[in-house]
Amino acid sequence: MAKKEKYNVAVVGALGIVGREMKSTLERKNFPVNEFRPLGTKRYEGKEVIFNGKPCKAFQADRDTFKGIDIAIFSAGGAASKELAPIAAEEGAVVIDNSSQWRMDPKCPLVVPEVNPQDLDWHNGIIANPNCSTIQMLVALKPLHDYAGIKRIVVSTYQSVSGSGKVAFNGLKNESEEFLSTGKVSNTAAYEQQIAFNCLAHIDVFQEGGYTKEEYKMVNETRKILDKTIKTTATCVRVPVFYGHCESVNIETKNKITREKAIELLEKAPSITVMDDPENNVYPSPIMTNNLDNTLVGRIREDDTIENGLNLWIVSNNIKKGAALNSVEIAETLLQRNLV
């Protein structure tokens, strides 16, 4: 039972790609909102955001703007979360943070509600929402891990540009238009190299051993959320797709799992839709996830190059399950567990 009938909810970064989706997710899921408070940078101060048909004034996020807030959902980047999430928590709000700032902090639970809702019970005011690629992978792998015990994951991602925010989203649009009309791209505003009609094996900054930070996020977040013994190796690639991330995932399990058993388990799992009918060319693609909450899984094949191996193709909407939807589901789970 929730403690209150309705809650005061702030969204920091409310006018960004994820923030807008956050607002519409709260609306369409009928989240019990008393006051909706959109927070942003100075340039949005005073702007009106319509929530459930009512105009709500946006404020520049600072200490005072969290007063009276029960739940503060952050999607404004790491710097804003680092500075403002502890302030919001001090003011009494439960923070759900979409940036990578708090994910590996041992005091902060990192939660996918279908996988580890119990971790919400030990929150200290700040809860981290995992990386978009980690969320969709783990929501699909959880039932397979429970059945067969995953030892190792080899994943390659194909990630859309909306995953890098509105500058990158507009960058793909502008580059595509320019390339189609002139045959070249004069200004690569979104990434180091042209993204239109290209693929970039580079997401977030390069780190030790030649891996990127995005690749390490998948390795470390999988351990924190699902099982600390799982070994993961990742290659993360940005592709010229507007919405939806795809993943080619190979798992090695302790016990045998057949294609038929995997399909049976995934069909019963929450938030998953199996699309796997090779004879009729049925398999998931990112465009299918434009208006979809569920994560799609297809191309399920036994890998007979190892003793117990399975290949899967996992596709999800990075703005929904990868960010806004998972955050709102965390908020719903907090209410169900009486934690706000």
Which residues contribute to the site for ligand NAP (CB under 6 A)?
12-13, 15-19, 39-41, 43, 61, 75-78, 80, 98-99, 132, 162-163, 165-166, 318-319, 322-323
> What is the closest distance, in whole angstroms, from the C-beta atom of residue 206 to ligand NAP in the complex?
18
Considering beta carbons, is residue 45 or 277 the nearer one to ligand NAP? 45
Catalytic residues: 132, 245
- Count of beta carbons in the 10 Å neighbourhood of residue 264: 14
Q: Whole-number minimum distance, CB 319 to ligand NAP, in Å?
A: 5
Q: Please spell the DSSP secondary structure of 175-222, one letter per residue.
A: HHHHHHHHSS-S---SSSS--TT--BS--S-B-GGG-BHHHHHHHHHH
Residue 335: both structure tokens together: 């209410």
Compute the distance between CA of residue 320 and CA of residue 21 in angstroms, rounded to an integer. 7
What SS3 state is found at 67? Answer: coil
Structure tokens at 303: 């890998």
Q: Which segments of the chain does DSSP mark as H helices, in order?
A: 17-28, 78-90, 132-148, 166-182, 213-225, 259-268, 325-336
Closest separation in Å from C-beta 116 to ligand NAP: 18
Closest-by-Cβ residue to ligand NAP is 16
Residue 180 structure tokens: 């189609």
CB of 122 to ligand NAP, least distance (A): 23
What is d(CA 100, CA 129) in angstroms, rounded to the nearest whole number? 8
DSSP output for 125-160: SEEEPPPHHHHHHHHHHHHHHHHH-EEEEEEEEEE-
- How far does CA 163 lie from the centroid of its chain? 9
The smaller minimum CB distance to ligand NAP, of residues 94 and 132, is found at 132
Q: What is the Cα–Cα distance from 221 to 155, expressed in whole angstroms? A: 14
What is the nearest approach in angstroms of ligand NAP to the Cβ of residue 49? Answer: 11
Amino acid at 222: T
Q: Which one, 162 or 250, has the nearer CB to ligand NAP?
A: 162
Smallest distance, ligand NAP to C-beta of residue 161, A = 9
Q: Is residue 102 within 8 Å of residue 108, measured between CB atoms?
A: yes
